[in-house]
Amino acid sequence: MSLIQAVNLNHSYEHQPILKNINLYVNKGEVLALIGPTGAGKTTLLRILDLLEKPGSGQIYFDGVEVNKSRKLQLQTRRRMSYVHQKPIVFSTDVFNNVACALRWRHIKGTAVRSKTEEVLNLVGLAGYENRSAKTLSGGETQRVAIARALVTEPEVLFLDEPTANLDPRSTIQMEELVQSIFRQYQTTIIMATHDLSQ
C-alpha cells in the first residue's frame, strides 16, 4: 500500500489551472522528485500533499485513509509530516531554540528536547552552532536549521521545496549530501521539488 496517494488532483488560482488530473503514489521510504520550471505547480502540489492547502478537486490518501475530508484527520496526519519552505524562516533566537521549538510545540520537555535537538544539529552539520543567533547565519546554514527543525519531530514524510534554489554551488552540494544522509539514516520518505534535473 502507498504511504501517500493522490487521485485526480486539480487546482486553479483565479480560474487559471495550475494542476490538472494529478495522480501519484509514494511508497514508504521512497524519494520522489517533482521536476519542472518555475510556475509549473511544484510548490502547489507539495502544499496540497502536505495538507497545507486544499485542492480544487481530487482525493489525498495517507496510509490508505482519505484525509482531505476531515479537519481532524488533516491535523492528525500533518503531525506525521514536515515541510521545509524554499525560503525558510528562522526566529529571533539562537539556533538551538529555533530547532527545539518544534518539540516544545508538541509538549515534549526536559532532556528529550536537548538530546534530540543536538542529534539533528549534528546530522545537519551544525553541532557547535547551538548558541549562535539564527539571524546571523548564511543561506546554507539557515536552510540546514530549517531542515533540522523539520527532522527533530521524526516525520514519516519530509517535503522539501527547492532546497537548493537560493544557495551557492558549494552549499548546494552540501545540501544534496545532507538529503542523502537523511534518507540513509532515517529512511524518511522524501518528496522534493526542484528545477534541477541532475538532482
Alpha-carbon separation of residue 111 from 17, 24, 34, 97, 100 (angstroms):
49, 40, 38, 14, 11
Whether pLDDT at 12 is above 70? yes
Residue type, 83: Y
The pLDDT assigned to 8 comes to 96
Q: Which of 123-137, 165-179, 180-194 has the lowest mean pLDDT?
A: 165-179
Cell of residue 144, nine digits = 540546514
The pLDDT assigned to 174 comes to 84
Q: How far apart are CA 137 and CA 135, in angstroms?
A: 6
DSSP state of 136: G
DSSP output for 58-111:
EEEEETTEE-TT-HHHHHHHHTTEEEE-SS----SSBHHHHHHHHHHTTT--TH
Whether pLDDT at 199 is above 70? no
**b or e along 140-176 (b: 16 or more beta carbons within 10 Å of the residue's beta carbon)?**
bbbbbbbbbbbbbbebbbbbbbbbbbebeeebbebbb
DSSP state of 165: T
The model's pTM is 0.91
The pLDDT assigned to 56 comes to 93
Average pLDDT rounded to a whole number, residues 82-101: 93
DSSP output for 28-41:
TT-EEEEE--TTSS
Residue range 43-72, pLDDT digits in tens: 999 999 999 999 999 999 999 999 988 899
